[in-house]
Amino acid sequence: MTHSLPPNLLALFEARQPIQFLPPIKALLVEREPVQYTGLAQYLSCFDKTPKSAPDLEAKVSEKVMKQKLKEEVQALKLENSIADYQKRNQEGYTKDPYKTLFVSRLSIETPESKIKREFSKWGTIENIKLVNNRDGLPRGYAFIEYSRKSEMSQAYKEADGIKIDGKRVVVDYERGRTRKDWLPKRLGGGKGKGKSSEKKADDRSSKEDSKYSSSRKDDKYSSSSRSSKYERSGGDKDRDRERDRDRSSYRDRENRDRGDRDYRDSRRDNNRNNHKAVY
């Protein structure tokens, strides 16, 4: 079919000349010569000499473990000596009867002995109060209160825990140092407290609870008017519901009455039709 095409169209179907072959710029990988590596012996003089015996790392680790174990043994021995000294401590200045003594902690350093006596005298007669001070004469935040009877101490132990004195909630407990043989203070590995940070968190939490309670009381006070208006609106809604129910009941009565009239007319019509059939 191409032979019937004109020359100008046949020129479009002519083959081009083959591409000229050019040698590759770089040689193939299989044709390249491998790189010749040279030694580094000539540079050894630039480095430090290697010691004949390298340090033993395992010996260093074992030495560290031995030091730690020796330190723990020394601390354990010191703790045993401290416990022995604590058990042989001089009890001068203590309360007379430990079973009538109440321990009070988390006291404010500004709380005087007179206020402590006034707060805790409601549970019974107080014989003695020991407010503990440090070496500088400053209060350490806890005290021992001796009652005249053990029952009074037990009642204070049950009811006085958590009361606020000078803005701080106190914690009460019975005296454990002389009533329990296995009791040790916190500095000797015993005790029941959790540290000053936990006490601060407890005080902050109690103050937050008090502020939340006061704010809720204030909200209740100022929202009474809104509640009364809400109750009034709810009363109006009840009136509208009552009227709607009344309209519905009247509509049902009227519908039932109309249905009865229709049934009566239909029955009369059927009777008349039957009478006419009987006459004919």
For the chain, domains (ranges, CATH) are: 98-193 (3.30.70.330)
Q: What is the pLDDT of residue 81?
A: 85
Which of the two residues, 126 and 95, has the higher pLDDT score? 126
Banded pLDDT at 151 (limits 50, 70, 90) = very high
Banded pLDDT at 40 (limits 50, 70, 90) = confident
Determine the Cα–Cα distance for residues 117 and 55; give it in Å rounded to an integer: 69
What's the whole-number mean pLDDT along residues 120-131?
90
Question: Under 8 Å CB-to-CB from 116, ≥6 apart: which residues?
Answer: 104, 107, 129, 131, 143, 145, 165
Which of the two residues, 237 and 173, has the higher pLDDT score? 173
Banded pLDDT at 98 (limits 50, 70, 90) = confident
If you average pLDDT over every residue of the chain, what do you get? 77
What's the whole-number mean pLDDT along residues 114-143?
89
Banded pLDDT at 22 (limits 50, 70, 90) = confident
What's the whole-number mean pLDDT along residues 48-61?
72
Question: Under 8 Å CB-to-CB from 188, ≥6 apart: which residues?
Answer: 79, 82, 83, 86
Q: What is the pLDDT of residue 146?
A: 92
Q: What is the pLDDT of residue 58?
A: 74
Which of 137, 133, 158, 157 shows the shortest CA–CA distance to 145? 157
Tell me the pLDDT tens digit for each residue of 171-213.
Answer: 998 888 788 777 777 777 777 766 555 555 555 665 665 565 5
Question: Percentage of residues in the chain with pLDDT exceeding 70?
Answer: 65
Sign for the pseudo-dihedral over CA of 19, 23, 27, 33: positive
Q: What is the pLDDT of residue 232?
A: 47
Which of the two residues, 32 and 254, has the higher pLDDT score? 32
Q: What is the pLDDT of residue 209?
A: 59
Contact assessment for residue 109 and residue 141, using Cβ atoms and an 8 Å cutoff? yes
Question: Percentage of residues in the chain with pLDDT exceeding 90?
Answer: 12
Banded pLDDT at 233 (limits 50, 70, 90) = very low
Determine the Cα–Cα distance for residues 267 and 264; give it in Å rounded to an integer: 5
User: For residue 29, is pLDDT > 90?
Assistant: no
Residues β-bridged to residue 169? 164
Determine the Cα–Cα distance for residues 8 and 17; give it in Å rounded to an integer: 19
Which of the two residues, 100 and 224, has the higher pLDDT score? 100
Q: What is the pLDDT of residue 258?
A: 67
Q: What is the pLDDT of residue 228?
A: 47
Q: What is the pLDDT of residue 231?
A: 44
User: For residue 45, is pLDDT > 60?
Assistant: yes
